[in-house]
Structure 1
Amino acid sequence: MHLVYIAIFGALGCLSRFMVSGWVYALIGRALPYGTLAVNVIGSLLLGLLMEGGLRSAALPADIRMGITTGFMGGFTTFSTFSYETVRLLEDGSMVAAGANILLNVTVSVVFAGLGIFLARQL
């Protein structure tokens, strides 16, 4: 049954990524891949919160938790798009923007994953 949950939540995660990143691009623009950054940071926070919370509580059944963490979060976050956009920035000669994209995605996402874990421990 967990494969069904992963598929359903994965589809919802993909749609959510499309909507959130589109909204961020409309709001901030495309000087940097802000939409991808936003979904990766939000996803890191939520995954840290859900994984740590799931280890501390049985409030979510394992199948649902797997659907949310593997399916939704896997569909919502996007390492491949981050990688592609960074390569495109490099090809365009935008070394500073590419470096900023790498630094922001990796650093801020890791910090927010840690924040999610911290918040889960406070609950």
Structure 2
Amino acid sequence: MNNLLLNIGFVAFGGAFGATFRYLIGIGIVSLFGKGFPFATLTVNVIGSLIMGYIFQLVQQGTISTTPWWPLIGVGFLGALTTFSSFSLDSLLLIQQGELLKALLNVVLNVVVCLFAAYLGTLLVLKG
């Protein structure tokens, strides 16, 4: 039971930081690129995928221990930072606004680039 409570604390702590970074990145990206395309969501999804691949590979190799790192970063921080629900809503809104090409581009970029970023994260550990 103590491990469960400790892990819940790690998730909550990581989540607080992930949500804060998500908010700050969103403000920064919108100020740079505007609201014409959901670049903020794409940015956090790519960053989150890269970190997810990296942390996953470190845990798999035994370079870092599962606890506290997976609950803290893999679940808490990245769970709050990445925004699949926002990605889904952004895509739906683009479709509803008749922006089918932008919606398709958003879906393809988020899926392909984030898969590549997760793969790159694992490679950073393996090559480093």
Cα distance in 1 for partners of 2:60, 2:28 equals 33
1:119 aligns with 2:104: no
* 5+ residue gaps, structure 2: 1-5
Question: Which of 47, 50, 67 is the matching residue for 2:52?
Answer: 47
Identity %: 33
How many residues are paired up?
123
Partner amino acid, structure 1, of 2:126? R
* Root-mean-square deviation over aligned CA pairs: 1.2
The DSSP-based 3-state class of the residue aligned with 1:80 is helix
Question: What is the correspondence of 1:1-123 to structure 2 with a 5 Å cutoff?
Answer: 1-60=6-65, 62-123=67-128
Moved more, 4-13 or 61-70: 61-70
Tell me the distance in 2 between the aligned counterparts of 1:24 and 1:104: 16
CA displacement, residues 7-32 of structure 1 (integer Å, 9 cap, x when unaligned): 01111101100101211111112221
TM-score when normalising by structure 1: 0.94
- C-alpha distance in structure 1 between counterparts of 2:65 and 2:81, whole Å: 20
TM (normalized to structure 2)?
Answer: 0.91
Deviation at 1:60, TM superposition (A): 4.5
For structure 1, which segment, 36-45 or 23-32, has the greater mean C-alpha deviation from structure 2 after superposition? 23-32
Does the 8 A contact of 1:2 with 1:64 survive in 2? no
Any unmatched runs of 5+ in structure 1?
Answer: none
